[in-house]
């Protein structure tokens, strides 16, 4: 039985080949999945897609035409999938809901510490025998107030780390997590949480959260606050965050995700002329740190992603169902 993987990198091949205990015929394609490339999946029992594949209604219609009944996402987020179209075409869609929340939470902390203590600058300076501390002044994270928006798997892991740092942790979510409350996390309305010294985004991208961070919400933030986004680029109105950085309303920005990332991330464009002026402007700020959607990228996470994706596909083939249900979207 053949599984066709879209948007693959060499590490996908390494991990999925290693954990292919059911001996599926694995086909790894570099191209992303869209209505132009979907036919490459002909003959497969399932397709496996990633964060920037656009799995739209035309893609589902063509998949149904190819008699492919399973789309397995090898990620947690699913804002790029037309679930209604999946349903109407009788296609099951599954994901990996919690492969390693700590991987993403730890990356958010890494971004925060880098921006605050400027270790990226220190590294380069010392290599050039510049041992001056000028411009490297940071502050203690201990004692600061952290705002966590979205306290699911990743937000919860992030909140726990920040409690360990000795921070006051404020949270906003549509559902409060009782376990977090029990260890000291305080739930408040969004506008209160936005007043924190450091705000980290961990909610999904959907119609309610698109451009959650906009002119109005930036104005609610404490002047000079740090904003971290390891969730999805569309949570931040990028053009407006540039204005907020220019006025100093945002003191530092760490993003692992970017609104227009599908044209840039996961590729080596070092010899190209980048046409996206917005990311070029962001990259020009000394207080902006950008990583290219790497928060998930740990050995433990990739192991889990491969194992859970195979389990999802095998269960769907055998029983047309999945346990736990959180993995099944349609
Ligand atoms: P999750 O489903 O466990 O948690 C999401 C939380 O957000 C839930 O508690 C939910 O109630 C809350 N939420 C939903 N709508 C909200 C709203 N309007 N306001 C506030 N909170 C809201 O998901 P997760 O595993 O914690 O992942 C969170 C997001 O992180 C994913 O949606 C994905 O986009 C992103 N992610 C990024 C990477 C990466 O490598 N950068 C890796 C994995 C996941």
Cα–Cα distance for residue pair 245/211, rounded to 1 Å = 16
Whether 106 is catalytic is no
Pocket test for ligand 1, best of 150, 235, 302 (most atoms within 8 A of CB): 150
Dihedral of CA 75/80/81/84: which sign? positive
Cα–Cα distance for residue pair 174/179, rounded to 1 Å = 15
Q: Which helix (H) or strand (E) holds 145?
A: strand 145-149
Query: Which fold would CATH assign to domain 101-290?
Result: Rossmann fold (3.40.50)
Q: For position 326, what pLDDT does the model report?
A: 84
Cα–Cα distance for residue pair 287/27, rounded to 1 Å = 41
Whether 207 is catalytic is no
Q: Are 267 and 98 in contact (CB under 8 A)?
A: no
CA of 202 from ligand 1 middle (Å) equals: 5
Beta bridge partners of 226: 198, 252
Cα–Cα distance for residue pair 251/115, rounded to 1 Å = 10
Domain boundaries, the chain: 2-99+299-327, 101-290
Q: Where are the alpha helices (DSSP H) in the chain?
A: 10-18, 57-65, 83-88, 101-117, 119-127, 153-164, 178-182, 190-193, 215-220, 238-247, 277-283, 299-319
Q: Measure Cα distances from 19 to 15, 308, 309, 327 in Å.
A: 6, 10, 10, 19
Q: Are 254 and 229 in contact (CB under 8 A)?
A: yes
pTM: 0.95
The torsion angle over the Cα atoms of residues 95, 101, 105 and 110, rounded to 10 degrees, is -90
Ligand 1 atom at shortest distance from the alpha carbon of 230: 41
Beta bridge partners of 94: 72, 328
Closest C-alpha to ligand 1, atom 1: 152
Its CATH class, for the domain covering 2-99+299-327, is: alpha beta
Catalytic residue among 95, 202, 259, 261: 261
**DSSP string for 195-211:** TSSEEEE-SPPSTTTTT
Identical fold at 2-99+299-327 and 101-290? yes
pLDDT (tens, 9 = 90+) of the chain, 330 residues, equals 999 999 999 999 999 999 999 999 999 999 999 999 999 999 999 999 999 999 999 999 999 999 999 999 999 999 999 999 999 999 999 999 989 999 999 999 999 999 999 999 999 999 999 999 999 999 999 999 999 999 999 999 999 999 999 999 999 999 999 999 999 999 999 999 999 999 999 999 999 999 999 999 999 999 999 999 999 999 999 999 999 999 999 999 999 999 999 999 999 999 999 999 999 999 999 999 999 999 999 999 999 999 999 999 999 999 999 888 889 999
Pocket test for ligand 1, best of 190, 210, 231 (most atoms within 8 A of CB): 231
For the record, the structure tokens of 80 come out as 């790029």
Name the nearest CA neighbour of 107 among 297, 287, 299.
Answer: 297
Q: For position 324, what pLDDT does the model report?
A: 83
Beta bridge partners of 225: 250
Q: For position 325, what pLDDT does the model report?
A: 82
Q: Are 98 and 153 in contact (CB under 8 A)?
A: yes
Closest C-alpha to ligand 1, atom 32: 204
**DSSP string for 52-114:** T--B-HHHHHHHHHTT--EEEESSS--TTB-HHHHHHTT-EEE--TTS-HHHHHHHHHHHHHH
């Amino acid at each position: 039985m053949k599984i066709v993987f879209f948007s693959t990198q060499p590490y996908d091949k390494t991990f999925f080949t290693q954990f292919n205990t059911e001996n599926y015929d694995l086909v790894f394609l570099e191209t992303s999945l869209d209505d132009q490339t979907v036919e490459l999946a002909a003959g497969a029992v399932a397709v496996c897609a990633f964060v920037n594949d656009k799995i739209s209604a035309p893609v589902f219609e063509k998949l149904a035409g190819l008699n492919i009944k399973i789309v397995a996402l090898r990620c947690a987020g699913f804002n790029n999938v037309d679930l209604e179209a999946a349903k109407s075409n009788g296609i099951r869609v599954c994901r990996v809901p919690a492969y390693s929340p700590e991987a993403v939470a730890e990356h958010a902390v890494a971004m925060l510490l880098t921006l605050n203590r400027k270790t990226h600058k220190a590294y380069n300076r010392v290599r050039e025998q510049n041992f001056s501390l000028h411009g490297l002044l940071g502050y203690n994270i201990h004692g600061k107030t952290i705002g966590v928006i979205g306290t699911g798997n990743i937000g919860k892991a992030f909140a726990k780390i920040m409690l360990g740092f000795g921070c006051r942790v404020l949270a906003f979510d549509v559902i409060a997590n009782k376990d977090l409350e029990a260890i000291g996390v305080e739930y408040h309305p969004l506008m209160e949480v936005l007043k924190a010294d450091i705000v980290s985004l961990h909610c999904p991208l959907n119609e309610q959260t698109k451009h959650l961070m906009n002119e109005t919400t930036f104005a609610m933030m404490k002047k000079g606050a740090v904003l971290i986004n390891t969730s999805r680029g569309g949570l931040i109105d990028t053009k407006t965050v540039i204005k907020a950085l220019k006025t100093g309303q945002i003191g530092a920005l760490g993003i692992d995700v970017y609104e227009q990332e599908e044209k840039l991330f996961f590729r080596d464009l070092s010899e190209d002329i980048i046409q996206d002026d917005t990311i070029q402007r962001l990259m020009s700020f000394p207080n902006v740190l950008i990583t290219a959607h790497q928060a998930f990228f740990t050995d433990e996470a990739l192991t889990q992603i491969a194992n859970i994706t195979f389990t999802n596909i095998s269960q769907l083939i055998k029983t047309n169902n999945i346990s736990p249900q959180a993995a099944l979207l349609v």
